[in-house]
């Protein structure tokens, strides 16, 4: 256990005492917590828990506490509606916990595994789509003729900054400026075509955020809950479940996800082939990781390394999406 993990252990021990969860038994075990936060498995006399240590750089962003509070309110609605989720525990009516300037969520430990995206079954894709449809069906609202805010990332400026810092990603961004501009334009055009509907949404419900235990699905990592457009969310997540993240697109998985979704929530919209540009929301994830790679969003070596790695991965995904656009649109036109 490194120095940072020892620091987390001391803080978590104090946090558990404050929450009356008992003294910690054995080691605090680091587990996969995604690309932004850290997660630990913790055992006490009262049970086994997962503790999420929220990224301190993320917690410095303007409005972030309001965003988390809104997500917590929606999480409670999903609990009441019987959606299969793993919710954060509440202590004196509070889910997010602060101690010594750091922020945490505590969960009951959920047994199960994340399925390797390369071996997801069509039935798992159907089930994921069905859960998303159930969430979208809770409280749909007509929104009127609202236009989504455009993505206006200045990739040329990032390319210049990468070159100035002699970053390992400098050449990659400079070489792909045309691709990235085209992707961003297609994203903005697709957003202008979205139907005027708003729903409770979990835009982060990709394969890494569903655990499977005895063939049952449990949605985890609900901090991104908010209200969003159902067509945009469904298409984006369907493509991720269909294997585009790992450049292993499967039409059967794509259609399986949509079948599950439409079985649970069907507002009559079918023009998904005209919205393929929504898939290029990856340009916004790319910007976040450009900032990490260039030391603008957390400046330690690990943040920079992770940022560089994700920049390379994300540019690869955007290239792949462009390559398969025609194939995917033909499948979507048949829905």
The predicted pLDDT at position 3 comes to 46
pLDDT tens column, 161-186: 999 999 999 999 999 999 999 999 99
Q: Return d(Cα 210, Cα 188) in angstroms, integer.
A: 29
Q: Which residues contact 73 (CB under 8 A, 6 or more apart)?
A: none
C-alpha separations of 290 from 69, 140, 270, 314 in Å = 27, 35, 35, 10
Contact 233, 107 (CB under 8 A): no
- Average pLDDT of the residues in 107-125: 94
Whether 4 shows a pLDDT value over 70: the answer reads no
**Considering the chain, what percentage of its residues have pLDDT values greater than 70?**
95
The predicted pLDDT at position 155 comes to 97
Mean pLDDT of the chain: 92
pLDDT tens column, 212-236: 999 999 999 999 999 999 999 999 9
- Average pLDDT of the residues in 251-257: 98
What are the structural domains, with CATH classification, of the chain? 3-108 (3.30.200.20), 117-333 (3.90.1200.10)
Q: Backbone dihedral region of 148: left (phi > 0), alpha (psi from -120 to 50 degrees) or beta?
A: beta
- Average pLDDT of the residues in 142-155: 79
- Average pLDDT of the residues in 109-127: 94
- Average pLDDT of the residues in 93-100: 91
Which of 16-25, 75-84, 98-107 has maximum average pLDDT? 75-84
The predicted pLDDT at position 144 comes to 66
Whether 15 shows a pLDDT value over 80: the answer reads yes
pLDDT tens column, 280-308: 999 999 999 999 999 998 778 888 999 99
The predicted pLDDT at position 26 comes to 80
- Average pLDDT of the residues in 71-81: 97
């Amino acid at each position: 256990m490194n120095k940072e993990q020892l620091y987390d252990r001391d803080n978590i021990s104090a946090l558990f005492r404050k929450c009356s969860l008992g003294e910690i038994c054995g080691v605090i075990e680091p587990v996969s917590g995604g690309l932004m936060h850290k997660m630990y498995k913790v055992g006490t006399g009262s049970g086994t828990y997962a503790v999420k240590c929220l990224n301190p750089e993320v917690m410095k962003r303007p409005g972030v506490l309001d965003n988390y509070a809104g997500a917590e309110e929606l999480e409670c609605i999903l609990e009441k509606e019987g959606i299969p989720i793993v919710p954060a525990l509440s202590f004196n009516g509070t889910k997010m916990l602060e101690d010594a300037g750091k922020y945490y969520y505590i969960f009951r430990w959920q047994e199960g595994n994340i399925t390797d995206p390369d071996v997801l079954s069509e039935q798992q894709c159907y089930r994921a789509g069905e859960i998303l449809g159930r969430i979208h069906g809770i409280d749909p609202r007509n929104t009127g003729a609202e236009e989504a805010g455009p993505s206006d990332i200045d990739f040329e400026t990032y390319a210049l900054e990468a070159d100035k810092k002699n970053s390992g990603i400098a050449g990659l961004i400079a070489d792909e400026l045309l691709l990235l501009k085209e992707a961003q334009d297609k994203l903005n055009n697709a957003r202008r075509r979205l139907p005027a509907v708003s729903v409770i949404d979990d835009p982060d419900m990709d394969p890494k955020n569903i655990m499977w235990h005895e063939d049952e699905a449990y949605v985890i990592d609900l901090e991104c809950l908010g209200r969003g457009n159902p067509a945009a969310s469904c298409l984006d997540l369907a493509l991720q479940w269909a294997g585009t993240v790992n450049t292993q697109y499967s039409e059967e998985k794509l259609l399986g996800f949509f079948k599950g979704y439409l079985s649970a929530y069907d507002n009559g919209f079918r023009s998904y082939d005209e919205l393929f540009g929504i898939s290029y929301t990856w340009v916004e994830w790319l910007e976040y990781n450009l900032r990490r790679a260039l030391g603008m969003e957390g400046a330690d070596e690990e943040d920079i390394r992770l940022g560089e790695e994700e920049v390379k991965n994300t540019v690869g995904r955007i290239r792949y999406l462009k390559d398969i656009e025609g194939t995917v649109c033909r499948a979507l036109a048949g829905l």
